Amino acid sequence: MLDLCRIPMKGNHAYWISAIHIARLEELRLFDCEGSDDFLAAMTRVTSEKLSLQKLQVHGEGIDGQTYLKAIDKIIDRCSGLQSIMIELESATRMPNLAGILKHAATLRTLSICFLQGLNPEEIIPCIDDLQQICRTCQALRQFSCAFPPTPLAVGAISPNWCEFARTIAMLPHLITLQTTTWPNGPQRHWGEENRLCIEALARSVFQEAESSALSRSNTHALLRLVGFGSCDIPDQSWDCDFQMTFIRWTQKAPGADAAPIERVSRHTWMVEEPESEVLERFINFHI
């Protein structure tokens, strides 16, 4: 495992290459390391073997996203069975190579993609066709995080594009946590109660589509337990503010109730550090 945070790598990536066995490296986490794009590119040059990476996490603030993307695409393509891909970059103009991600469909459990572009950053949003390819192909996904186009909020109405998104997510039979890193109708701002109820309705529609799909597919209940909106990269003291909304579907229903309740919780999606169900149970129990 190689886990580096804010370590300058520009000009000395050869040191890191020589210090580790690239072909046997299973976990790589690079958080705001200047020059780490050179390190990633060098990883694919020093060995002709398939890389053994299982977990790849890259966070690049103030780093050339385009150069980084080229290196990331090569890394993903050279790996034989990634289980977790988590990428957050600024100054990018495109999504990562979809074909490379789909290569790992059989093993991929966690997929988190957050790309910002421009001087006044707006998140890059994958097209619905790409989302459908991911959800049809990467059937083992437990945890998924991506952006979604701004969705109008109206009491008692859910937009057709959100309904299509919910149906697409419902293709994932093992999904436990979902986070849409953009707000439903554009940039985050403080919400009135009416908008809060509209966002809750969006979350409920995702849970309902997942449940309907699971029942029709295998006559079992959906595993989806958590739906979050908004960025998770916010100050700890803002946990109870409107920077992010998280909704949980409880595992137990009250006596006489038709379904388990869905409630908003003031906690961040990133607190669910692993996508396995027993971890989510501990997360839910924390709020009881």
**Is residue 116, in this structure, part of any structural domain at all?**
yes
Residue 39, C-beta contacts closer than 8 angstroms, at least 6 positions apart: 9, 13, 16, 17, 30, 33
Please give the pLDDT value at position 252.
64
**Is residue 195, in this structure, part of any structural domain at all?**
yes
CA distances 105 to 197, 226, 275, Å, are 35, 22, 16
The tens place of each residue's pLDDT in the chain, 288 residues long, gives: 899 998 888 888 788 888 888 888 999 999 988 888 889 888 888 888 889 999 999 987 666 667 788 889 999 999 989 999 999 887 777 889 999 999 999 999 999 988 876 555 577 888 899 999 999 999 999 999 988 877 888 777 888 999 999 999 999 999 999 998 887 775 555 557 778 888 899 999 999 999 999 999 988 889 999 998 886 554 444 444 456 788 888 766 656 666 667 888 765 444 444 444 444 554 444 443
* β-sheet bridge partners, residue 89: 60, 115
**Is residue 288, in this structure, part of any structural domain at all?**
no
CA distances 62 to 88, 90, 102, 120, 143, Å, are 11, 7, 28, 13, 27
**Is residue 122, in this structure, part of any structural domain at all?**
yes
Domain that holds residue 60: 2-234+241-282
**Is residue 273, in this structure, part of any structural domain at all?**
yes
**Is residue 37, in this structure, part of any structural domain at all?**
yes
CA distances 210 to 71, 171, 202, 227, 229, Å, are 35, 8, 13, 11, 17
| Global pTM value | 0.86
Please give the pLDDT value at position 78.
92
CB-based burial label for 206 (10 Å; 0-12, 13-18, 19+): buried
Q: Which two tokens stand for residue 173?
A: 């039979």
CA distances 256 to 24, 259, 284, Å, are 54, 9, 21
**Is residue 287, in this structure, part of any structural domain at all?**
no
**Is residue 110, in this structure, part of any structural domain at all?**
yes
Number of domains into which the chain is organized: 1
CB atoms < 10 A from the CB of 195, how many?
18
